[in-house]
Copies of this chain bind each other. A is one copy, B any other.
């Protein structure tokens, strides 16, 4: 049952159909199915064949014709995705909570979360430790051989590199901090530095103690 239209209008040559599909897919805001394309193209066109031709033409180009479900769309060639990104590096200071947590891990490693919280006097959010781990400054150490076998946290080589330390033992003790003016000298008696006792084997192996 051929419609009268068929005889009146002949389908454009395939090369033109290809141009048309190219233009439509370029200009539309959404991927298009062959059926949708057929609705836009002049009568008698064959979108599937035209799509295949367009796809071949764009093979290896900076833009590809890709299939999205039943539909088709132009997309940037995957290897050129980097052109669509503009990387801005923003330097931010670490939050106070993160700094303090990091300091406690560095001075007391290996430290469990409970120990960090005890020293800081406030809870340590999961996010803070995650951030330090993501930064590559803190990692998980061995589990503590105590009830519950809690995980411990230790500082990494990346941490030492960043802070210009040979080992964590190079960190100054409270006495030195005070001498350097970083602590007020009016220390309440009885709160002399006790890191050495809480200290782990790393510090204990240290020949000159923690100061």
Contacts and interface: CB of A to CB of B under 8 A. Distances in A.
B40 A86 contact: yes
A62 B21 contact: yes
Contacts of A77: 19, 23
A80 B15 CA distance: 13
A27 B61 contact: no
Interface string A49-68: 00000000000111100000
B18 A62 contact: yes
Interface string A79-97: 0101110110000000000
Nearest to A60: B19
A14 to B, nearest CB: 13
**For the side of the interface on A, what is the size category?**
20 to 34
Given A18-B62, A62-B18, A23 B82 contact: no
A69 to B, nearest CB: 20
Interface in A13-34: 18-24, 26-29
A1 interface: yes
Contact of A80 (B19, B28, B61, B84): B19
23 contacts: A1-B82, A18-B62, A19-B60, A19-B61, A19-B80, A20-B62, A21-B62, A22-B61, A22-B62, A23-B63, A23-B76, A23-B77, A23-B80, A23-B83, A24-B62, A26-B63, A26-B76, A27-B83, A27-B84, A27-B87, A40-B83, A40-B86, A41-B83
